[in-house]
Amino acid sequence: MRQYQVQLLERMQAARTNSGARVNQLGVLIGAERFLLDLTQAGEIVPVPPVTVVPLTQPWYLGLANIRGNLVGLIDFARFQGGSETVAGPDSRIVTLATHLGFNCGLLVARVYGLRHAGDMEVTGDRLRDTDANEWIPLDLAALVTDARFLHVGF
């Protein structure tokens, strides 16, 4: 597992510095939907750490966790969008937001699919379809951190 994470990190770093025409994104499963995260907006991918629940917060705000010495707010994005609660399983991970977004938070994802090339996908409305007919939703994390509802985790 550790070797897989190291290889994925190396591929992500290579993709960030790639000046080619292909657009590399991180494919993740959140709830029942597949999402694409821009690599420049995603930070680390870590196993789900112990979470400290914060009282009087929205149900989608899972609480706080210590990730490499940083206090990070954890979000159940599926629930934020009105879906059902994401249950953390063995394939679940936390994808933190890139530091330049100015937000110490991470999204609970049910599974990380790895790098995807959006340039190879067919555009169908606001979604993308890969060669295996899987639909992907681009998720703009920079826009998410400006969403007023996302910014108000308290009741």
| Residue range 42-56, pLDDT digits in tens | 999 999 999 999 999
Contact status, residue 31 vs residue 135, Cβ threshold 8 Å: no
Say how far apart CA 146 and CA 86 lie, in whole Å: 23
63-72 — which CB contacts under 8 Å span 24+ positions? 65/94, 65/106, 67/94, 67/96, 67/106, 68/44, 70/104, 71/104, 72/96, 72/104, 72/105, 72/106
Kindly state the average pLDDT of the residues 80-92. 94
- Is pLDDT at 35 greater than 90 in this prediction? yes
Query: Tell me, what's the pLDDT at 13?
Result: 58
% pLDDT > 70, the chain: 85
Kindly state the average pLDDT of the residues 64-84. 96
Nearest to 34 by CA among 128, 151, 117, 154: 128
Position 30 confidence tier, pLDDT thresholds 50, 70, 90: very high
Amino acid at 3: Q
- Is pLDDT at 19 greater than 50 in this prediction? no
Nearest to 37 by CA among 115, 134, 105: 115
Average pLDDT of every residue of the chain: 89
Predicted TM-score (pTM) above 0.95: no
Q: Which of 85-114 are b and which e, b meaning 16 or more Cβ less than 10 Å from the residue's Cβ? A: ebebeeebbbbbbbeebebebbbbbbebee
Kindly state the average pLDDT of the residues 16-21. 47
